[in-house]
Structures are given as structure tokens and as C-alpha cells.
Amino acid sequence: KTGQLQRLDRAHHLHPFTDFKSLGEEGSRIIERAEGAYIIDSEGNRILDGMAGLWCVNLGYGREELVAAATEQMHQLPYYNNFFKTTHPPAVQLAEKLVSLAPEHMNRVFFTGSGSEANDTVLRMVRRYWALKGKPEKQWVIGRENGYHGSTVAGMSLGGMAPMHEQGGPCVPGITHVRQPYWFGEGRPAGQDPNDFGIECAAALEAKIRELGEENVAAFIAEPVQGAGGAIIPPQSYWPAVKAVLDKYDILLVVDEVICGFGRLGEWFGSVHYDLTPDLMPIAKGLSSGYLPIGGVLVGDRVADTLIEEGGEFFHGFTYSGHPACAAVALRNLELMEAEGVVERVRDDLGPYLAQRWGELGDHPLVGEARSLGLVGALELVDPETGERFDKALGAGNLCRDHSFASGLVMRSVGDTMIISPPLVISHEEIDELVDKARAALDATQRQLAV
Ligand code: PLP
């Protein structure tokens, strides 16, 4: 059965973000079931899902309450829309719940079907806002190198992933990118305090604003902790300095919470962890723990009031904006997270425990840095002989990822950075297992590379 599915998969299924030629004879692994923090493949292997799917299955797999919420809503009202002065209970209730969890000045939500659509919505709202304010010259949006904001043309353009731009260009005009606060990636400049480095990155943003003309810059978009770019946790100095720059030039702040929202960093939003006051917050993923597709944009009063009071109709929306079944599942998901104290547990217990255990991997010869915040972690692989990065052609990160999968742990590789982002309901014992398996994968990679 596995072989047949793999053959059909290869014949007919174009996968996202997959180099098809690299599949070889083996084909893709087929995931059939899942429970708690584990996925189970078609051969019966139980694999600890160190990535919570794609950073999204925050409540873990197999939550009957979420299945029931979907089923009940499908019976009641499987579909209706929120266009043209209609609405339905799940969308309203979810909007109210989100606003109750969001920073105080954010009182409205626009729903989308995904994080990419949320970022397309962001771009349209930013432009509309400045046009309504009589400042159409504010056209530039600044993102960051290696930022990820989705795969639609606008999402890809806001993001700073060079390979995407190369394949998908030309990008949406009026978007540019600045340096990311990636201390390790920039070679840990000898003698420089990471906080000085953080200030330097904020200064690079200010220099870019001046280069573009301060009156021409509409918004800055960034993830609190850069996810797909390599789980990059900025130095403490970074966000306060960025905030000061944006305030100085009256530039909107868009904080992409698609990964960091809903408990990942130990607060409901990464913006809370970093004490940010965003104008717009795109959300998705953990909003429904990935059980059904839903995203949105939480909108601060400044933008929302302008859109509503000065804007009239906003010609924008998706068939599945606030889809009733997806909204019902998201609402139940948030209620469960609240009732079970999931976010507080990440902040006070699981995050610190992971930091301790994951940090121990820093003593492995292949690891140049082990870092984590809340339940996101990364390992930077280095050649033990030099302490520097491996030659890219060796593909050390991918080797480590494959060893990890083979030993029963999903770990992701971004170049030679290994990433984890497990379900927020992972137990201490499962964290121990995760760390042990990560170490085994590092050992196997070291043996294979004979270093
Ligand atoms: N924004 C961030 C920070 C993401 O990590 C992602 C997806 O990984 C997106 C946006 C896009 O979300 P989606 O894949 O739901 O379109």
C-alpha cells in the first residue's frame, strides 16, 4: 500500500517546497494518523513531531473537542460568507474572542483563509490607510532579509527569501528589505556585544528609511522571532530600537504573528513578549491549531478607525474569509488554550525546561549555538575542526534532518540551522525524548561527514 501511494504521489502530486528530483526511489513518507505530539506513518512508525506540522498544531493532534466543533458547525451552517452586510455566529464570536486576547488597542479583525492571504490583506490595508490619510506618497514597505510572509505574490514580495524572488519575480513594486538581526549568521562578530549588534540592525533600518525618503515609507513588516528564516531570536536591544525608529518617522508597524502568535513564545502574541504596539498583526496557523485553514489580520484602532470612518467600502475579501466551520474550530481552540492555561505553561514551565535541555546540545561538537525562546529552538551546525559553517555543498542540515526523521523526530533544516517548534502540549518526558533524538541525529550526521 505504501509503495502504491508513493507511486501515485510521484505521478500526480506537485508538492509545495519540495525538490522533486531529490525524492529518489523511496518517495515521500506517508503520514496516516497522529495523536498528541506524534505522527504515525503508513508503516506504523511513531514520529515525535518536533515542528507541530508547520509550526501550527499548538494543541497537539487528536483533540476531539475540535473535531466536535467542526462537525457541529458543519451540520448547523457549513458555509456562509461575511460579504454585503451578512455575518454568522462563529465569525462574530471568534472576532470578539481574538480582540479580548489581543493588545488593548486592537479591536477589529479581518478574516482570511491563510497567513499568505493575511499578508496580502496587510499590504492592501497599509496602502489604503495612507491614501485615506492624504499621503499617497507613503508607498514603500520595508521587510527583512529572509523574512517569510507567505507564498502568494504579495507574501513572497514582503518576505525576503532570495530563492523565492528569483523564481517568482518580478515582485510587487514598492517593497524592499533590510538586514535581519541574525547574530550567528553574520559570523558572531568578535568582541561585539549582541546588543550592540541589535542596535546596528535598527540603525540599518533607519538608514534605509532615509535612503527611500522618510516621507515615502508606509510600513515595516517583521516577525517577532523570524521563523522560516532560521528561528532567529533578536538581541534584547533590537525591538526597542526598531520601535523608536518607526515612531520617529511615523511608519506603521506590522508584526507577523503567524508563527509567534497563540503561545509559541509564552505569550498570546510575540508582540506582548517584546512589548510592541503593532498597527496590524497577521495571524493564522496556531489560531486553529492547524485543524482547519483560517487566518486573519488584527487591526489596531488607528488603521481600523480610518478604514471605517473615512474609507467606505473596502474592495477586498475572500470567499472563505471567516468560514463558519474554520471559525468555530478556531474559537474552540482558543477556549481550550485558555481553559488549560497552555500559554502560561509555555512561559513558566515548558519554555524554561526546553531552554535548559535544548541548551545542553550546545556541548555537541557539531553545534555552534543552541538557542530557544518559548517553544521555538534552533541549533547552528558547524564544522568541529574550524568552528565555522560547513561547506554548503555538503548539505549538513539536510543530512541531520534525514537522520532525525529516521530516528523518529521531525526536525526542520534551514540551510545548516536545525529548527524545532513542537506542539505546546508537549510533556517534559517528550522534551527529553526530543533532545535525545536530536543528539542522536547530530551524532549520526557527524559520523557520516567523518568530522
Ligand atoms: N507568515 C509567517 C510568519 C509564516 O511563517 C507563514 C507560513 O509559514 C506565513 C505567513 C504564510 O502562511 P500560510 O502558509 O498559511 O499562507
- Is residue 110 lining ligand 1, measured as CB closer than 6 Å? no
Cell of 335: 477556549
One domain, residues 383 and 291: no
Q: What is the pLDDT of residue 20?
A: 80
One domain, residues 294 and 166: yes
d(CA 374, CA 275): 16
- Is residue 228 lining ligand 1, measured as CB closer than 6 Å? yes
Query: Ligand 1: distance of its center to the CA of 292 in Å?
Result: 14
Report the CATH number that the domain containing residue 187 is assigned in CATH. Answer: 3.40.640.10
Q: What is the pLDDT of residue 164?
A: 95
If one residue of 257, 258, 323, 414 were mutated to test the ligand 1 pocket, choosing by the most ligand atoms within 8 A of its CB, it would be: 258
Last residue of a domain, one of 339, 356, 376: 339
Last residue of a domain, one of 339, 368, 396: 339
One domain, residues 118 and 217: yes
Closest listed residue to residue 349, CA positions, set 367, 370, 324, 375: 375
One domain, residues 306 and 261: yes
One domain, residues 298 and 388: no
Query: Ligand 1: distance of its center to the CA of 363 in Å?
Result: 32
Maximum Cα–Cα distance for the chain, whole Å? 66
One domain, residues 251 and 192: yes
One domain, residues 293 and 213: yes
One domain, residues 156 and 230: yes
Cell of 338: 485558555
- Is residue 279 lining ligand 1, measured as CB closer than 6 Å? no
Number of domains forming the structure of the chain: 2
Q: What is the pLDDT of residue 191?
A: 74
Tell me if 144 sits within 8 A of 179, measured CB to CB. Answer: yes
Q: What is the pLDDT of residue 217?
A: 98
Report the CATH number that the domain containing residue 420 is assigned in CATH. Answer: 3.90.1150.10
Sequence-ordered list of residues with C-beta below 8 angstroms from that of 134, at least 6 positions apart, any chain: none
- Is residue 284 lining ligand 1, measured as CB closer than 6 Å? yes
One domain, residues 301 and 169: yes
d(CA 263, CA 269): 7
Domain boundaries, position 164: 66-339
d(CA 121, CA 112): 8
pTM of the predicted model, to two decimals? 0.98
Last residue of a domain, one of 297, 313, 339: 339
Helix axes 428-449, 351-359, angle to 10 degrees: 30
One domain, residues 425 and 406: yes
Full pLDDT tens readout for the chain, 451 residues: 899 999 999 999 999 999 888 777 778 999 999 999 999 999 999 999 999 999 999 999 999 999 999 999 999 999 999 999 999 999 999 999 999 999 999 999 999 999 999 999 999 999 999 999 999 999 999 999 999 999 999 999 999 999 999 997 799 999 999 999 999 988 776 678 899 999 999 999 999 999 999 999 999 999 999 999 999 999 999 999 999 999 999 999 999 999 999 999 999 999 999 999 999 999 999 999 999 999 999 999 999 999 999 999 999 999 999 999 999 999 999 999 999 999 999 999 999 999 999 999 999 999 999 999 999 999 999 999 999 999 999 999 999 999 999 999 999 999 999 999 999 999 999 999 999 999 999 999 999 999 9
One domain, residues 319 and 441: no
Name the residue with cell 476531539: 64
- Which atom, in ligand 1's list, is nearest to the CA of 117? 16
Q: What is the pLDDT of residue 253?
A: 98
One domain, residues 348 and 400: yes
